[in-house]
Amino acid sequence: MNALRDGIGGFARETIKTFKLLARNKMGLFGFVMTLVIVLLSFVGPIIWQPETSANVADINQGPSEKHFLGTDFQGQDNLRKVINGGKDIVITAFLTGIIATLLAVTVGAFSAFVGGRVDSALMELVNIWMTIPKFPLLAVIATVIKLNDPVTLSLLMAFLDWPGLSRQVRAQVLSLKKRDYIEAATMLDLGTRQIIFREILPNMMSFIAVSTIFTMTFAIYQQTGLVFLGIVPYSGANWGVMISAAERRGVLYTAAASWSIIAPIGAIVLFQLALISFARSLEEVFNPRLRTSV
């Protein structure tokens, strides 16, 4: 019991410490809070503000008002409510892609760095080749053949296309960490490869891995909404990408009155991407004490 209490207490103390560090950087705090708000709103919001099912002919294409904070769209539906209901798919796909791509990249990168020799150079040649192929066009072409109607398949495909760049960076990091004194000491103590990777090397790469995951996430948001915009992924229901392409197809870009129905989803995506990136930059500080002292 005591051990459990200590464990919980220690965890709480660590969490509070992390928050204090996060709070020191205003941009980072903004990013963290904003990410949290967007994720919460996207999952809890739809329960409270359910999507409208009928059109309101009286309030078509209005600007912001007290009744509709972000105006209304071509069907007279509230833009804010649509934005709240349209985030879930985007958030799920972004997180899934980020996590899967990072797992792949860390596994291959660390393996390559540890094995070395011919296997290492062959793997890195393959990674280099994979990196020259333009990802987004390839994704778009594949998407016309495979049905990508659910977030999981799309995430798997995007992660599979996106991991190589990251794995090259992971390899470089592992190689440079391997040369550090404390790793050489651990090797001499014969602590075992697994122990060295998981206890000595990976913790020292956490900031780098977290930041890279987040960058992959923003790229996933870009690709996913881009596919919808091109009309290749027929996402059912409302998400931010669908909102943008629906508004664009109705010529909203050329009529000032209706512009709020495209500004709302663009704003949501931009805010999400910005929040993620500023969170990533402050995470670097939390994990890396050397950066902290210089603030």
Partner 1 sequence: MAVTSQTQPQTFSLLARIERITSNYVLRRIVKAMFTIWVVVTITFFVVRAMPGNAVDILIQDLTAQGFSADEALNQAASLMGIDLNQPAHEQYLDYLANVVRGDFGKSYRSRGLNVADMIAQVLPWTLFSVGLSLAITFIIGIALGALIAYARDTWFDHLISNIAATLDAVSPYLIGLLAILLLGVTWKIIPFSEMRGALSPGIQPEFSLEFFADAFSHVKVLLLVYVLASVGSWILIMKSNTIATLGEDYVTAARARGLSDFRILTAYVGRNATLPLFTRLAISIGFAVGGSLLLERLFAYRGVGFLLADSLGNRDYPVMQGVFLVITFAVVFSNLIADFLYGWLDPRIRIAGGGN
Residues in 224-263 that interact with partner 1 by CB under 8 A = 225-226, 229-232, 244, 248, 253-256, 259, 262-263
| Residue 29 or 277 with smaller CB distance to partner 1 | 277
Considering beta carbons, is residue 201 or 268 the nearer one to partner 1?
268
136 near partner 1 (CB under 8 A): yes
Candidates 107, 128, 149, 176: give the one binding partner 1 (CB under 8 A).
Answer: 128
Task: Please tell me the distance from the alpha carbon of residue 5 to that of residue 116, in angstroms, as a whole number.
Answer: 44
Span near partner 1 by CB under 8 A; candidates 57-65, 71-79, 135-143, 181-189: 135-143
Q: Which is nearer to partner 1, 197 or 265 (CB)?
A: 265
The minimum distance between CB 175 and partner 1, in angstroms, equals 15
Binding to partner 1 in span 2-61, by CB under 8 A = none
Rg (C-alpha) for the chain, rounded Å, is 23
* Near partner 1 by CB under 8 A: residue from 12, 40, 146, 152: 146
Smallest gap from Cβ 131 to partner 1, in A, equals 7
Tell me: does residue 129 bind partner 1 (CB under 8 A).
Answer: yes
Q: CB neighbours (10 Å) of residue 235?
A: 21
Please report how close the Cβ of residue 219 comes to partner 1 at its closest, in angstroms: 9
> In Å, how far from its chain's centre is CA 105?
15
- CB-CB contact of 288 with 207 (8 Å): yes
- For 85, the token pair is 């209901």
Q: Do 94 and 217 meet the contact criterion of CB atoms below 8 Å apart?
A: yes
Using an 8 Å Cβ cutoff, are 94 and 275 in contact? no
Q: Is 195 in the site for partner 1 (CB under 8 A)?
A: no
Q: With binding defined as CB under 8 A, does residue 269 bind partner 1?
A: yes
Name the residue nearer to partner 1 (CB basis): 1 or 145: 145
Distance in angstroms (rounded) separating the CA atoms of residues 285 and 22: 8
Is residue 117 near partner 1 by the rule CB under 8 A? no
3-state secondary structure of 26: helix
Q: Tokens 């709070």, residue?
A: 23
Q: Is 283 in the site for partner 1 (CB under 8 A)?
A: no
Please, are residues 154 and 161 in contact by the beta-carbon 8 Å criterion? no
Helix extents (H) in the chain: 2-24, 26-48, 79-85, 88-115, 117-132, 135-145, 151-178, 181-188, 193-195, 202-230, 240-249, 260-287, 289-293
Residues near partner 1 (CB under 8 A) are 121, 125, 128-129, 131-138, 140-142, 144-146, 218, 221-222, 225-226, 229-232, 244, 248, 253-256, 259, 262-263, 266, 269-270, 273-274, 276-278, 281
